[in-house]
C-alpha cells in the first residue's frame, strides 16, 4: 500500500512514544521507506537504537550531531519526505510548529518541508482541552495540516478523557487513506446539497436560514478532488462554484427536491448538507405585501422531507445527512438517522462557538447505523470535509 512512499516519522516526548515503535514497524511492512526523527525528550522514553533497527535507517535526534551521510540534515530530509507523521505529537511540538519556532531538528525539518504533515496529538486530557492547544491545532488544520484526533479513554497519567494516541493500526490506516485520497472516489457519482433554501412570501421577501453553504461546498470540492463526478444542488450562496463540480442552483425546497430526485438514480453517494426549510408560506403573494397598522399572520405549510424520501427510495446509494441542533443533540440525531434510513449522520450543536452556520470551523459528532458515535474536535470545514469523506469511503467499500 505504501510501496515507494517516503515517510518521516517524528517522535516527540510523551509516554505514547512506545506505540511509535509499532507504527514504524507497520509502515515498513506496508512498503514505506521510513526515517525517524526524535526530540531529545522522546529519547528518554524509547532509545534511538530501537527505531534505527526497526526503520533500517539512521535516527536523527540532534541538530548538531555529526552527519553520517551528507544528506542527513534537515533540508535534505524535508525534501526527501512524501509525508511527515508526528506521533505522538505533544502539546510542545504542536505549539512550536503552530508558532513557527524551529529550535531543534524535528520542528526545523517540519518547517522546511513541503510534504503533507500529519499530527497525532497525545497528551493528558487537560492539556488536550487547554484552549492554547486546541487553538494551535485549529490553526494548523486551517493551513492544511492533517490532525488525527486522539482517542478517549484511560490515560497513562490515570486520568480518563481525550488524549490517548490511537492504536498504531488506526494511525497507519489513516495515513494510507489520506495519501491515497487522490483517487479513492474515481468513477463514483456523488450528489451534494448545500446552503439554505428560500421560501418566498412575495416577490421581494422570503423565509430563509443562516446556512452559508460552506460545509456543502467544502464537501463537493473535496469529493471532486478525490476523483468523483460531483453534482451539487445549491440554495443561494455567495461562495464561488468549486472547480470540477456541476452546480445546479435552486431557491426553494420544492426546487431542491426536484433537482435532487433528477440526479438520485445515478448517484452512488448522497450527502445532504443543505439546510432545507421545513415550512413554506401557504400563499405566495403576487404583489409585495403592503404594510398595515395591525398584525399579520403567516400560514405555513409543510415542505417535503427530501432526505426521508431518498431514504425510502434508496437502493444502492449511501445516504449521509446532517443534523444541526440546539439541544439534545444525540437524541435528535439518532432519531433522524433511523427515521430517514441514513448510513451516517453528522450532528452539530449550532449553539457552540466555532460550530455551525457561517463559521469557518465546525465541531461534529458522527453517528453510524451500527450505533457507533465518533466525536471529532473543532476543525476547519475543509479539513472536516476530508475527514468525513475518509469515513464515507470506508462505508462505501464495506457496503460493496
User: What span, in angstroms and rounded, lies between the C-alpha atoms of 101 and 292?
Assistant: 64
Find the distance separating the first CA and the last CA of the chain, reported in whole Å: 20
Report in angstroms how near the CB of residue 5 gets to ligand C5P at its nearest.
36
User: What span, in angstroms and rounded, lies between the C-alpha atoms of 163 and 32?
Assistant: 27
Quick check: 225 binds ligand C5P (CB under 6 A)? no
Quick check: 306 binds ligand C5P (CB under 6 A)? yes
User: What span, in angstroms and rounded, lies between the C-alpha atoms of 387 and 346?
Assistant: 12
Region near ligand C5P per CB under 6 A, out of 110-118, 123-131, 147-155, 304-312? 304-312
Question: Is the backbone peptide bond immediately before 88 cis, with ω within 30 degrees of 0?
Answer: yes
Which residue out of 157, 186, 204, 298 is catalytically annotated? 157
Other Cβ atoms within 10 Å of 371 Cβ, number: 8
Q: For ligand C5P, which is the closer residue by CB, 124 or 252? A: 252
Q: Which of residues 34-73 bind ligand C5P (CB under 6 A)?
A: none
Quick check: 253 binds ligand C5P (CB under 6 A)? yes
Specify the pairing of strand 160-164 against strand 151-154: antiparallel
Q: E strand or H helix at 230, and its extent?
A: strand 229-234
Quick check: 278 binds ligand C5P (CB under 6 A)? yes
Within its chain, how far is the Cα of 203 from the centroid?
Answer: 39
Selection from 307, 318, 373 nearest residue 340 by Cα: 307
Region near ligand C5P per CB under 6 A, out of 36-44, 183-191, 273-281, 378-386? 273-281
Quick check: 321 binds ligand C5P (CB under 6 A)? yes
User: What span, in angstroms and rounded, lies between the C-alpha atoms of 343 and 359?
Assistant: 26
Distances (CA, A) of 347 to 148, 210, 223, 332, 376: 19, 17, 20, 9, 10
Report in angstroms how near the CB of residue 105 gets to ligand C5P at its nearest.
47
Report in angstroms how near the CB of residue 264 gets to ligand C5P at its nearest.
12
Q: For ligand C5P, which is the closer residue by CB, 73 or 251? A: 251
Other Cβ atoms within 10 Å of 126 Cβ, number: 12
Report in angstroms how near the CB of residue 156 gets to ligand C5P at its nearest.
40
Q: For ligand C5P, which is the closer residue by CB, 37 or 329? A: 329
Write out the three cell numbers for 304.
Answer: 417535503
Residues 5 and 82: beta-carbon distance below 8 Å: yes
Is 157 annotated in the active site? yes
Q: What is the DSSP letter of 288?
A: P
Quick check: 251 binds ligand C5P (CB under 6 A)? no
Taking CB under 6 A as the criterion, the residue among 229, 336, 377, 385 binding ligand C5P is: 336
Q: For ligand C5P, which is the closer residue by CB, 73 or 278? A: 278
Q: For ligand C5P, which is the closer residue by CB, 86 or 307? A: 307
Q: For ligand C5P, which is the closer residue by CB, 137 or 329? A: 329
Q: Which of residues 166-205 bind ligand C5P (CB under 6 A)?
A: 193
Q: For ligand C5P, which is the closer residue by CB, 40 or 249? A: 249
Specify the pairing of strand 189-194 against strand 269-272: parallel
Quick check: 393 binds ligand C5P (CB under 6 A)? no
Question: DSSP 3-state assignment of 23?
Answer: helix
Binders of ligand C5P: how many residues, by CB under 6 A? 14
User: What span, in angstroms and rounded, lies between the C-alpha atoms of 154 and 133?
Assistant: 20
Taking CB under 6 A as the criterion, the residue among 147, 165, 222, 307 binding ligand C5P is: 307
Quick check: 323 binds ligand C5P (CB under 6 A)? yes
Other Cβ atoms within 10 Å of 127 Cβ, number: 19
* Catalytic (active-site) positions: 157
> Which chain residues interact with ligand C5P by CB under 6 A?
193, 253, 272, 274, 276, 278, 303, 305-307, 321-323, 336
Amino acid at each position: 500500500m505504501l510501496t515507494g512512499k517516503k515517510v518521516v516519522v517524528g517522535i516527540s516526548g510523551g509516554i505514547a512514544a512506545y506505540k511509535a515503535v509499532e507504527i514504524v514497524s507497520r509502515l515498513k511492512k506496508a512498503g514505506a521507506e521510513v526515517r525517524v526523527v526524535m526530540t531529545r525528550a522522546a529519547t528518554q522514553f524509547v532509545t534511538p537504537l530501537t527505531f534505527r533497527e526497526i526503520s533500517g535507517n539512521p535516527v536523527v535526534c540532534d541538530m548538531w550531531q555529526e552527519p553520517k551521510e551528507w544528506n542527513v540534515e534537515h533540508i535534505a530530509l524535508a525534501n526527501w519526505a512524501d509525508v511527515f507523521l508526528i506521533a505522538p505529537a505533544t502539546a510542545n511540538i504542536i505549539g512550536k510548529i503552530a508558532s513557527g519556532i524551529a529550535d531543534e531538528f524535528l520542528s526545523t525539518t517540519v518547517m522546511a518541508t513541503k510534504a503533507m504533515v500529519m499530527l497525532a496529538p497525545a497528551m493528558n486530557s487537560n492539556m488536550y482541552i487547554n484552549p492554547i492547544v486546541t487553538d494551535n491545532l485549529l490553526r494548523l488544520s486551517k493551513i492544511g495540516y492533517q490532525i488525527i484526533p486522539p482517542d478517549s479513554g484511560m490515560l497513562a497519567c490515570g486520568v480518563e478523557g481525550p488524549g490517548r494516541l490511537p492504536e498504531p493500526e488506526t494511525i497507519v490506516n489513516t495515513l494510507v487513506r489520506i495519501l491515497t485520497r487522490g483517487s479513492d472516489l474515481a468513477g463514483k457519482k456523488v450528489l451534494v446539497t448545500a446552503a439554505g433554501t428560500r421560501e418566498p412570501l412575495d416577490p421581494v421577501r422570503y423565509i430563509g436560514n443562516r446556512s452559508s453553504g460552506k460545509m456543502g461546498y467544502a464537501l463537493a470540492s473535496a469529493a471532486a478532488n478525490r476523483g468523483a463526478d460531483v453534482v451539487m444542488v445549491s440554495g443561494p450562496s455567495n461562495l464561488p462554484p468549486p472547480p470540477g463540480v456541476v452546480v445546479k442552483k435552486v431557491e426553494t425546497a420544492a426546487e431542491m427536491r426536484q433537482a435532487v430526485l433528477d440526479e438520485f438514480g445515478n448517484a452512488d453517494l448522497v450527502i445532504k448538507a443543505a439546510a432545507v426549510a421545513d415550512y413554506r408560506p401557504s400563499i405566495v403573494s403576487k404583489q409585495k405585501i403592503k404594510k398595515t397598522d395591525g398584525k399579520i399572520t403567516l400560514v405555513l405549510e409543510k415542505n417535503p422531507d427530501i432526505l426521508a424520501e431518498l431514504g425510502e427510495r434508496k437502493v444502492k446509494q449511501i445516504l449521509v445527512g446532517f443534523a444541526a441542533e440546539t439541544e439534545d443533540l444525540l437524541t435528535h440525531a439518532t432519531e433522524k438517522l433511523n427515521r430517514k434510513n441514513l448510513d451516517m449522520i453528522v450532528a452539530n450543536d449550532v449553539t457552540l462557538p466555532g460550530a455551525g452556520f457561517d463559521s469557518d470551523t465546525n465541531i461534529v459528532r458522527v453517528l453510524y447505523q451500527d450505533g457507533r458515535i465518533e466525536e471529532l474536535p473543532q476543525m476547519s470545514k475543509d479539513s472536516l470535509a476530508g475527514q468525513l469523506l475518509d469515513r464515507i469511503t470506508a462505508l462505501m467499500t464495506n457496503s460493496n
